Structures are given as C-alpha cells and as structure tokens.
Chains A and B, each alone.
Chain A
Amino acid sequence: MSKTTEAAVRGRSLTAADRLRAFKLAFPLTLPVMAGYIFLGITYGILIVTQGLPPYFPAVTAAIVYTGSMEFLLAGILVSSFSPAAAFLTAVMVGARHLFYGISMLSKYRGTGWKKFYLIFTTSDETFAINYSALIPENVDKGWFYFWVSLLDQLYWIAGAALGGLFGSFISFNTRGLDFVMTAMFVTIFMNQWLNDGTGAKGFFKDHISELAGIFASLLCLLIFGADRFIIPAMITILAVLTLLRKKLDIADNIAEEDTK
C-alpha cells in the first residue's frame, strides 16, 4: 500500500512544497529533542572544555561521533592513557543498541535514496524513537520526513555542544532537572506504543508482549548487572525472550502474508 503512494510521490519529482510539508510535520515532533539535546549538549561542551580540550572540540565530536552517551565517556577516555582498541570496544558496546534500531528501521528506510546513508549515520535513540513511531500521512514524503527529523536532531546536538564549549562558563540559570525531558519523551513514546498495541485482539499479554519483555528484561538486568553494564545483557535477554515467543505469537503468520504482497 505504502509502496504505491511512494511511487506516486516519486513519479512526479518532489517540489519544494513537498519538502516543506515534510518539514512542517517533522519539526514539532523534534521540539522535545531540541530542549533535551541543547541542554545535554551544553553539559557535554562544558565537560569537554573543563578536561582541558579546545572549545571547538565539543562541536566537532558532536558532529562526527554523534552519540551522546559515548561522547560523555569519550571525555574521560581522552584524559586517560592512549588505547584506541579499548576506545573502539567501548564504543561497540555502547553502540550495540543501534543494531536493534537498524533491524527495526530496515523496512522503513527502504527506498529513501541518497538520504539513506545520512539517515543511518544519524540514528540516535531519540531520532530512532520519533522516526519509528511517527504516523506519516500518505501525502507526505516519508524519506524527507525522516531526513528532517534526523537533520534537526543532529543540529540541536551540535548547537548545544558548541554553546557549551564556547559559553558554558557564562550559563547561570538553574537547569537542574531539565534532562528529565528525555525520560519523559521515551515514556510517552512507550505509552503511545502501548496504547496502539492494546487493541485487545489477542489478549492483554500477547498485545503487549514486546513492551513487557523490554521493561522486565531491562529491570532484571539492571538489578543483576548494575547501572553501568546492564544494556548488553538486557538486549540479549530481550532477543532471547522474543525469539522463544515467536511461535507462540501469531505475528509470524501476519509477516508471511505481508512478505508475499
């Protein structure tokens, strides 16, 4: 269904109006990310500069590394002894969740043309969450929608890091607790998913099996492994649970149908 729409949109070449329509849909959805990224970016910029690195460094790493949690670790790595292999491994561990994002976005980013490389390169927790859960109307080009969300989010992060690097020491108003905006965003996206899945068609448990697996596997692994190293075990547990449940869920049948379309 969406394939024909796409072809229709692509059939006539996209106009500036098409791109603007995609932008108008994308921009409001990125507002919470703007608040969160600029705040966290400033924090990151300040942290980097207080480690004795140059003021342009935060913005440069924000643009090319562009993965918040790893950049905060990078600040510590850069002031310890030289070990690129350890830095590489740490980044693979921290970035491992991108594997899940990639698998989830495979079909959505399909057919986005030249923008696809950029979309993959700029996949962050927040961009993934928005692009995955967005309901894109048929008259809006999904490739441009994804592109605008990705670009805006990256610009917010770079802007925040640049501000923190250059002017961090002048900021005085009390921003304590502002980082909660990210938590709030993921909670609403989670709730949105939960409410959309709650059709009651297959019963409470089957409807919400993914959400429940995600929450409980993560909580369990958090308790066992602690806050600093629970992500990878949680990912493995989620993967195992969902693999074991595949046969039990009717989803497998639906997919077989859709594949043949």
Chain B
Amino acid sequence: MTSQQIIITVAAVVAATMLTRFLPYICFPQGKKTPGFITYLGKVLAPAVFGLLVVYCLRNVNLAGGSHGIPEALALIVVIATFVWKRQMLFSMASGTALYMLLVQTVFR
C-alpha cells in the first residue's frame, strides 16, 4: 500500500470503531427516556459479557494437543481460589499470572 492508502485504511478502521463505541449513546441520548428494555439490558448484559471475555481470552487453548490447556487450568484454579479466599483482585491476578509464566516457561515449554 502507498502511504495515502494506509491513511485511508486506518481512517476507515477508526470510523468503524468510533461507530460501534458511540452508537448506543447516539440512539439513547441523555435527555430522552431510555426504553425499559434497554435499561434491562444495561443491567443484565455486563455480567454475561464478562463471561464472554473470559471465554474470548481462552479461545485459543487447545485441549486436544500441545499442553492440553493444563497450564491455563492450573492458573485459573489459583486465580479463582485465591479470589474467593482473599477477595483481592491484584493478589489473585499476580499469583495466577506468575504460576502461568512459570509453567509455560519451564514445565510446558
């Protein structure tokens, strides 16, 4: 691509991303009353989306081959167990990630 084509392509990507970010706020502006259904979705969507994001992060884990998802499973157990125990997000994230790095750099190379 020429630099002009690169600029146009990046601009198209920016425009599309802005569209997805701003659309809800444009459709349901502050002044007007938001439909009850949208308010309902505003309450129930986020917990579901957190589930989607967890699955999204783990989408490339291969249970059939490689390390069979064992490092991911062990690290997840540590994250969940420490969080239920201590309720400290940073502590759980740090211990889970440290274990995962240790596993993929040493045991499951």
Are A and B subunits of one complex? yes
Q: Lowest 5 A-B CB distances belong to which pairs?
A: A214-B51, A102-B24, A214-B48, A91-B16, A95-B20
**A residues whose Cβ falls under 8 Å from a Cβ of B:** 28-29, 31-32, 35, 53, 61, 64-67, 70, 74, 77-79, 81-85, 87-92, 95-107, 109-111, 116, 120-121, 123, 125, 129, 132-133, 174, 176-178, 180-195, 197, 208-215, 217-219, 222, 227, 230-231, 234-235, 238-239, 242-243, 246, 249, 251-252, 255-256, 259
**B residues whose Cβ falls under 8 Å from a Cβ of A:** 1, 5-6, 8-25, 28, 30, 33-34, 36-60, 71-72, 75-76, 79-80, 83-84, 87, 89-90, 92-93, 96-97, 100-105
Residue B45 contacts which of A31, A61, A185, A242 (CB distance < 8 angstroms)? A242
**Could you say which residues of chain A place their CB within 8 Å of the CB of B42?**
103-107
Known A98-B21, A186-B50, A190-B50: A106·B38 in contact at CB below 8 Å: yes
**SS class, residues of chain B in contact with chain A:** helix
Q: Are B24 and A180 in contact (CB under 8 A)?
A: no
Task: Please count the residue pairs between chain A and chain B whose beta carbons lie under 8 angstroms apart in the complex.
Answer: 268
Known A92-B16, A120-B22: A180·B44 in contact at CB below 8 Å: no
